[in-house]
Structure 1
Amino acid sequence: MERKLENIENQFETFQILNEEGKVVNEEAMPNLSDEELKELMQRMVYTRILDQRSIALNRQGRLGFYAPTAGQEASQLGTQFALEKEDFILPGYRDVPQLIWHGLPLYQAFLFSRGHFHGNQMPEGVNALSPQIIIGAQYIQTAGVALGMKKRGSKSVAITYTGDGGTSQGDFYEGMNFAGAYKAPAIFVVQNNRFAISVPVEKQTAAKTLAQKAVAAGIEGIQVDGMDVLAVYAATKQARERAVNGEGPTLIETLTYRYGPHTMAGDDPTRYRTDELDNEWEKKDPLVRFRKYLEGKGLWSEDEENKVIEKAKEEIKAAIKKADEQPKQKVSDLIKNMYEELPAHLQEQLEEYEAKESK
């Protein structure tokens, strides 16, 4: 049995295209991206890093509510989203707001989501996504259902979802993959392994050498990817999407990544469970630094171009938070009205009670 397990684990070598110095180490796997697409990918990563920094500042000012930092995970998040088509459906976790924004969610609505305002959860027409899932792993089951619906309709699109390494400890994780695998539903399951879930090391969550190998039990494809290498993440997702729309079933993608900040801004202190040595090790793998070196080597990126993106991000974030501030304040009566198309009697009574209070 030990030999069998070892044979399985050895099949899941980490897929990489760019090393930490931004050098190509896997020329055959290079995705077919134009120079403009490469630059667009870098622009999105820089923009998202600035968005993270500003969101943390806004949270500390009391202008945002719940917020889960994203710095360090840009390659994992944006590399996967960049491989999608507009008709594909995203079912995110609570750290996956950047994917929603680049899929079409207006920035001011992302800020409203953080504040708990219902308008932040109302996806605009043409944006195929659910609002971020707070329940750990629940989006995996939802994704199996959405993907099966796509298959039954004959749609050439996929459903993609995300969770962290902690999410793989949930029953929903296994149930969602198993169901999608049994029906060969066009789903992509992404595990962003940032090593600590909230505070528990991944080594204490599972005896498995990799999280990608958990695909074996579900009978689906699995791959472990260097999650700090945006080209590797993109290539793996692109291939998973092609397999899915061709009727070959789901793929589990484990991205080895790292969040530089706390789990959320709600009081988590990563210094209690992470060492400076580990932080420093992963800072050397920074996805922006790595991709920047690669693009500079091709003559596609400069400090001036990056500064333009930074200034654009700051301006758009300022405008978006202003627009969020201008939205009508959420009322208790709004929550009651949004719950049902036709209110049951007891909620109708509560609605009338709160509307009377709010009118004073």
Structure 2
Amino acid sequence: MGAEHLPASEFEIEELEQALAVSDPADAPDLVQLLDANGVLRSDPQFSPYVEHLDAEALRDLYRDMFLIRRFDQEATALQRQGQLALWPPLLGQEAAQIGSGHALQPQDYVFPTYREHGVALARGLELSSLLRMFRGVTNGGWDPREKNFHIYTLVLAAQSLHAVGYAMGIQRDQEDAVSVAYFGDGASSEGDVHESMVFAASNQSPVVFFCQNNHWAISVPTEVQSRIPLSNRASGYGFPGIRVDGNDVVAVHAVMRWALEHARSGKGPVLIEAFTYRMSAHTTADDPTKYRLSSEEAAWKEKDPLSRLEQHLRSSGGAGDEFFEALAADGDAMAAAVRADVLAMEAPDIEASFNSVYADPHPLVAEELAWHQKYEAGFADTEQAGEDI
């Protein structure tokens, strides 16, 4: 039995419970929150002006996108479990961080995502089925990043932060009215690429927003192990603002993101946003979170669900009723069915073309591997022919 399968000791359980005790957004230091866990809207002198435009219709739009991306995420997870996708990184619990920030972007802004920003992709207007093409294994990308200013998913941890800063430096030189945005997780914040990108961004006063979704777990490593201070505090070491926002509060995320984009767009330099949220599901469908975290922790965060708090607000304020939520549920099911149909209709690429696109010029090792694979596939044809001859 490997160590990763051993039951947690009493000491480890006590440590986790202590970490949970300080992981409540209400207790987090300097946390921006406008919509609390009960759906009650608060006022903030700095950030409330950035959400004055959010009338009942706009709040319904935010809820609709959060609901649809959660339904999409459920369908993608089911597709992977049924063998239709090679892998899937769920976003359950992080809908407010992504939809709230995504709705604040302007068309000319350019997004550099990780591999989990499905909600930002929806907010940018991408066809959701295109997000599944890479995980289906039919392409190395899935969409043209120039169409919606939304870059291809980055699987190399933290690499997109460097890309975002480089793009922002180009924005400066072209004197464009745009901002570059780098999305990354708390785990990626420990990578050298993030440090280097922040050094360059600060030195050049580049128009870039670093958006860190602190979902508390870098696979199996809790945030407390990676940083002894709030991640947002790191920004001061580079000389630019850092803000910690309740990542389960879509209204506050939207306000903070609008402020940060305005700051960067006006020539004042970069901003780091730490969205304090929680990954309710596995890191990917290859992960088992029961091996490293407590069910009591998950239960505590479930009470802070971003969809539930906005639904409570919409119902109590008269912004939406049963008819809206029932119609949305039907729309979600129809969307999920369409996504499933699209995935099942995706055709696998020609295997020889896949091998030939690894390098620009022919490579002897690749040619050898292709020959082996072709011989392997031919063996199945021989077996099928033998069966027909019997």
Which residue in 1 is equivalent to 2:387? Answer: none
Local SS of the residue matching 2:106:
coil
> Given residue 216 of structure 2, which amino acid in structure 1 is its aligned partner?
R
1:32-73 CA-to-partner distances (Å, cap 9, x unmatched) read 323221111110011111112112111111112221111110
Matched, 1:199 2:220: yes
Which residue in 2 is equivalent to 1:7? Answer: none
Select 1:307's aligned residue among 314, 317, 326: 326
Aligned residues of 1:192 and 1:256 also touching (Cα < 8 A): yes
Cα gap change, 1:138/1:272 in structure 2, threshold over 3 Å: closer, same or farther? same
Q: Given the two structures, how large is their TM-score scaled by the length of structure 1?
A: 0.89
Select 1:274's aligned residue among 277, 290, 293: 293
Which residue in 2 is equivalent to 1:257? Answer: 277
Aligned-pair CA distance for 1:105: 2.0
Matched, 1:24 2:41: yes
Aligned residues of 2:95 and 2:306 also touching (Cα < 8 A): yes
Matches within 5 A, 1:101-116: 101-116=122-137
Which residue in 2 is equivalent to 1:8? Answer: none
> Given residue 248 of structure 1, which amino acid in structure 2 is its aligned partner?
K
Local SS of the residue matching 1:126:
helix
Matches within 5 A, 1:233-252: 233-252=253-272
1:253-279 CA-to-partner distances (Å, cap 9, x unmatched) read 00110111111101x221222212211
Aligned-pair CA distance for 1:99: 1.2
Matched, 1:332 2:351: yes
Aligned-pair CA distance for 1:188: 0.8
Between stretches 56-65 and 328-337, larger displacement belongs to 328-337
Task: Measure the CA separation in 1 of the matches of 2:353 and 2:179.
Answer: 33
1:148-202 CA-to-partner distances (Å, cap 9, x unmatched) read 1112111111111211111111111111111111111111111111111101111
> Given residue 179 of structure 2, which amino acid in structure 1 is its aligned partner?
V
Aligned residue pairs: how many?
345
Task: Measure the CA separation in 1 of the matches of 2:354 and 2:143.
Answer: 13
Task: Measure the CA separation in 2 of the matches of 1:280 and 1:15.
Answer: 23
Matches within 5 A, 1:1-360: 13-28=30-45, 29-30=47-48, 31=51, 32-118=53-139, 120-123=141-144, 126-208=147-229, 210-266=230-286, 268-336=287-355, 338=357, 343-346=360-363, 350=367
Aligned-pair CA distance for 1:339: 5.1
Which residue in 1 is equivalent to 2:24? Answer: none
> Given residue 251 of structure 2, which amino acid in structure 1 is its aligned partner?
L
Aligned residues of 2:243 and 2:274 also touching (Cα < 8 A): yes
Which sections of structure 1, spanning at least 5 residues, go unmatched?
Answer: 1-10
Aligned-pair CA distance for 1:91: 0.8
What is the percentage of aligned positions where both structures have the same residue? Answer: 33
Cα gap change, 1:328/1:57 in structure 2, threshold over 3 Å: closer, same or farther? closer
Aligned residues of 1:88 and 1:158 also touching (Cα < 8 A): yes
> Given residue 25 of structure 1, which amino acid in structure 2 is its aligned partner?
R
Q: Given the two structures, how large is their TM-score scaled by the length of structure 2?
A: 0.82
Task: Measure the CA separation in 2 of the matches of 1:89 and 1:77.
Answer: 15
Between stretches 225-234 and 88-97, larger displacement belongs to 88-97
Task: Measure the CA separation in 2 of the matches of 1:255 and 1:120.
Answer: 27
> Given residue 35 of structure 2, which amino acid in structure 1 is its aligned partner?
L
Between stretches 248-257 and 31-40, larger displacement belongs to 31-40
Task: Measure the CA separation in 1 of the matches of 2:129 and 2:281.
Answer: 23
Aligned-pair CA distance for 1:124: 6.0
Aligned-pair CA distance for 1:324: 2.9
Aligned residues of 2:217 and 2:223 also touching (Cα < 8 A): yes
> Given residue 223 of structure 1, which amino acid in structure 2 is its aligned partner?
I
Runs of at least 4 residues of structure 1 off by over 6 A? none
Local SS of the residue matching 2:261:
helix
Local SS of the residue matching 1:181:
helix
Aligned residues of 1:22 and 1:293 also touching (Cα < 8 A): yes
Aligned-CA RMSD value: 2.5
Task: Measure the CA separation in 2 of the matches of 1:216 and 1:38.
Answer: 33
Which sections of structure 2, spanning at least 5 residues, go unmatched?
Answer: 1-27, 379-390
